[in-house]
Every structure is written in C-alpha cells, then in structure tokens.
Amino acid sequence: MVRWTRTGRAAQGKVPQAIQWAKELTEWLNKKYGGHLSVYMDCFGEYATIRWFRDYESLADLEKAVEKIITDKEYWQWAGKATDLFIEGSFTDTAMASL
C-alpha cells in the first residue's frame, strides 16, 4: 500500500476561499477519477495547512494516476483558480509505503 499526500498552506486572508476550493477540487477529482481522495486542514501546528490524502495499491498505480491528472486540461484549469489562494512554494508531495 502507498499513501500519497499533498500539502499546501493557504495565503493570509484567503483561508476560507482556499478551503472551499480544496473541497470542490477534491469532489471533482473523486467524481472524475473515482477513488477516495480526502482533504483535511491541520488543527494545530502551521496555520491553514491543507492536506490531501489518497491510498494506492502500488507506486505503479500512483504513477498512472499522476500521468492521467497532469495531462488533464480541466485539472490545470482548476489549478489556475488557486494561484492566489496558497503561499507560493508551500506545496509538497509525499509518497509513503506501508510497513
């Protein structure tokens, strides 16, 4: 099992909009690609940190999913809506393997 996460920090003054966008994007991705992408916001620690999570059977499955999404023009339209909602350079992706 592989767990993929993406983390980003909402820009100051844009937290409500970033939360709404994150929820709508997650819903759209789940509808279009199936699966169980989920989104959370940290309760403690770095203020306004938003995290997406999804589990895959293998790294190969994660790779296939990423290939589909990065070639999806509609996804890039969604991404373009968030350019001012998050702190530039705050996004990180992580893939973890279960033990």
- CATH number of the CATH domain containing 81: 3.30.70.100
The Cα-based distances of 11 to 15, 43, 48 in angstroms read 6, 16, 8
Confidence band of 24 (pLDDT split at 50, 70, 90) = very high
Tell me the pLDDT tens digit for each residue of 79-98. 999 999 999 999 999 999 99
Confidence band of 66 (pLDDT split at 50, 70, 90) = very high
Boundaries of domain holding 53: 2-97
Confidence band of 35 (pLDDT split at 50, 70, 90) = confident
Average pLDDT in the 39-43 region? 97
Domains contained in the chain, number: 1
Percentage of the chain exceeding pLDDT 90: 97
Beta-carbon contacts of 39 under 8 Å, excluding residues fewer than 6 positions away, are: 22, 23, 25, 26, 50, 51, 52, 53
